[in-house]
Structure 1
Amino acid sequence: MSRSERWGDLNVRLISAAVMIVIGLVEVWLGGAPFMVAIWVLGGAMVWELSRMLGGRAWAPGMGVIAGGALALAWLVPIWLALPGLIAVACFGAWQIAARRILFGTFAAATLLACHATVLLRIDAGMAWLLWVVCVVVATDVAGYMAGRSLGGPKFWPAISPKKTWSGTIAGWVAGAIVGLIFGLILGIGGSLVVLSVILSVAGQAGDIWESWIKRRVGVKDSSNLIPGHGGVLDRFDAMLGAMLLAGLMWLFGLLPGIV
């Protein structure tokens, strides 16, 4: 692969990423209703894309609206009702498509639960913890992209994600650990976040690989074309879904140090 082929999409990716980062930081800073609405819209968009990919094109817009509405409703009820309610919505969506129902149901449930966890982290745990997750995922993604394109080397899992390399994967873990050390010092909890950050980095990579596997199975390159240079919303936030889902479980079971 020539240098121009390796970096040909970098400018578009950087511009789109910059816009998303600015919008995302503003939403995270504002918190409250603006942040929650943004997450509900993103959740609906991701379920819409998933529905289109897995054969429910006619039902996809309706499913996206239902998913966004379910996320909004989940905020108004206790968590012991919200979580099974979101899973029920994913199962309802799976019932609406002709094939790949289990695949749709599991990924849609993971998407909705991850979005709800994102809201809980920002509102209940605090902005710093949400920023920790976001920074781990972004650092993992950027380090993996740069190392993979620069160093190349053996592929991590070519049958599912042919562009990912071991060099990029390991660079992502190192970047996640560094972010964990920085946030541990900022939050006054020392190096206890380093290991959790590496695990979070792996979870983010797992989300990315899972979505890549779905796309290869259905024969599409991108989940949609909503974001220039990045494809669809799922293409950009697949890693965030995996990390947020795990971070939400950590928070739910009291495994995040310093949160009481």
Structure 2
Amino acid sequence: MSKSVLLLALGLTVAVLVCSIPVGAVVTPLPGQGNQTGILFGVHPNAKTNETITAFIAEHGEIWWHEGIYNHTHKYVYIVPANACEEQLVYLNKIADEHGGEPSIGNIWIIGCDEAMPLAAELTFPEIFAEYPALSNNADLRSYIENQSPNRYEEVTAKPSRTQVYFINDTGVFTEYIVDLSGGEVVSTTYVSEENLTVGRAEAEAQAISGQPPGARVENIVLKVYGGDQIVWEITVRADQKIDIVQVPSDLAPGQSLRTTPGFGAVLAAFGVGMSFVLYRKRR
């Protein structure tokens, strides 16, 4: 077959393929190509009927968008202005499941373009959420983890069936979310911030260190609530090989209150494993 005949045959083949595309069919463009708003509304039709989302797109014009992991039932959807970007819109989209649930839009945030949404609570602390699945059902706890970004947690067992989990943010203003569980179920929660207390973290640490040998340092600090109204800083101090656990009392500042839900209370026994320590109350 000559070269000219081969080219003619290829041309006819392409013509047949083009003509075989049904009239009105939508050819999905590659990522980054085509009308991104149209693609967004095609993939997520519920976004087209949300006034906040459509207003954001109308204000900023051309956009691009992408998805992020939240958990097995939800995704983050990011809508980012394609030109000068000072802010982006992020919304939480519930994914349709095999039980027939329809996709739905949850929270909507408008954040800076250089910001990233925090991981879902289950992804931030996977071990404790796997141990206590009931934590996933507490909306206030999820909000605390995802908005205040605690950097650690502590788990304390008071009785075989009763546990407290402390989610702690100690990177700036010290805040804490305390969850009481009985039989694996959440029975009460308490939120406390040092901003609401008469004795803040710095003062509590100074009191705990005073009287200790030179070189003593704070190794750990946690806020504990006893009997629903007694608040103490529990501070672990190390001096050489000696470890002391010091409790520095604090009170709520005038006009302040704990954000709490009813439960069996927050009375836990202090205990140590494999080390010698002294537990005492240091008064002002």
TM-score tier, shorter chain, comes to under 0.3
Q: Which has the higher strand share?
A: 2
**Rg larger in 1 or in 2?**
2
Larger RCO: Structure 1 or Structure 2 (Cα < 8 Å, ≥ 6 residues apart)? Answer: 1
TM-score, normalised to structure 2, is 0.22
Bigger share in helix: 1
- What is the TM-score of this pair, normalised by structure 1? 0.23
